[in-house]
């Protein structure tokens, strides 16, 4: 079914409006409101179990999550009405917290298949190799990486670098990074941060979901939002990150 786009909608902003989501009858999100604009980096922080990853998977269309109320507007559509592949074709991308291994599928083959599916056009092998080499050089990824099976035997840092490489190749307009810093040592964290900084731009909005300040030392957010018990309870600038680092989440809960 062709995707109809309203000319009246803000084509550069993803808007989450009064989103309520449950899993097997248990409420997880309780009225989330959030806007992420292309060209901006938005950080979503909060304690474990606050609903941050649930928001990411709901936006991308994971079948486990039931939308009880609300909408997610992007390019004039409520994308909650679309299949996950249609959302991807509209330029929405999700970097997983725990990327899966796919034995027998080289990174290069996986990326070319994904590129053709998302872009809706067949890129020739030669043109794709050129594109992939450019992105790998940009991200300082060893060329041999592309011949390895997807995430098989990869360290935590290598898996996250593969996710950022996917992001560079697909060039989404709205990228959601779900706890990309999870399990990374300081060196790997810097590599991932540098990679995101290398590919971000005015044509891409980025929503970074994280518990900690550390990745935000490398990727500077334009706005910061704090989620507790399925709601965004506080929004502001980078000063919120510094306060969380000093005081933890207790002051938010008390407030």
The pLDDT tens digits for 179-213 are 887 777 788 888 889 999 999 999 999 999 998 78
CA dihedral sign, ordered 96, 166, 4, 41: positive
DSSP 210: E
Domains in the chain: ranges and CATH: 13-254 (3.40.50.300)
Taking a C-beta distance cutoff of 8 angstroms, is the pair 90, 139 a contact? no
| pLDDT reported for residue 132 | 95
Q: pLDDT, tens digit, for every residue of 149-159?
A: 998 888 888 88
pTM for the model: 0.89
Q: pLDDT, tens digit, for every residue of 2-60?
A: 444 444 457 899 999 999 999 999 999 999 999 999 999 999 999 888 999 999 999 99
Taking a C-beta distance cutoff of 8 angstroms, is the pair 193, 219 a contact? yes
């Amino acid at each position: 079914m062709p995707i109809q786009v309203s000319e009246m909608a803000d084509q550069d902003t993803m808007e989450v409006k009064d989103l309520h989501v449950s899993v097997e009858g248990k409420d997880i999100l309780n009225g989330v409101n959030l806007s992420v604009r292309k060209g901006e980096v938005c950080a979503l922080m909060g304690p474990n179990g606050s609903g941050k990853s649930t928001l990411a998977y709901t936006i991308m269309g994971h079948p486990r999550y039931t939308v009880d109320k609300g909408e997610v507007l992007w390019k004039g559509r409520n994308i909650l009405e679309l299949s996950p592949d249609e959302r991807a074709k509209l330029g929405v991308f999700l970097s997983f917290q725990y990327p899966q291994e796919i034995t027998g599928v080289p990174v290069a083959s996986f990326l070319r298949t994904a590129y053709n599916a998302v872009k809706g056009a067949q890129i020739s092998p030669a043109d794709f190799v050129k594109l992939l080499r450019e992105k790998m050089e940009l991200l300082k990824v060893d060329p041999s990486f592309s011949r390895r099976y997807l995430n098989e035997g990869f360290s935590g840092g290598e898996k996250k670098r593969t996710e950022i490489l996917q992001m560079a190749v697909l060039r989404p307009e709205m990228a959601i990074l779900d706890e990309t810093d999870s399990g990374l040592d300081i060196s790997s964290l810097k590599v991932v941060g540098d990679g995101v900084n290398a590919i971000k731009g005015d044509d891409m909005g980025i929503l970074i979901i994280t518990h900690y300040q550390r990745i935000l030392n490398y990727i500077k957010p334009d706005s910061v939002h704090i989620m507790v018990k399925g709601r965004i309870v506080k929004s502001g600038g980078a000063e919120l990150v510094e306060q969380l680092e000093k005081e933890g989440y207790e002051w938010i809960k008390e407030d």
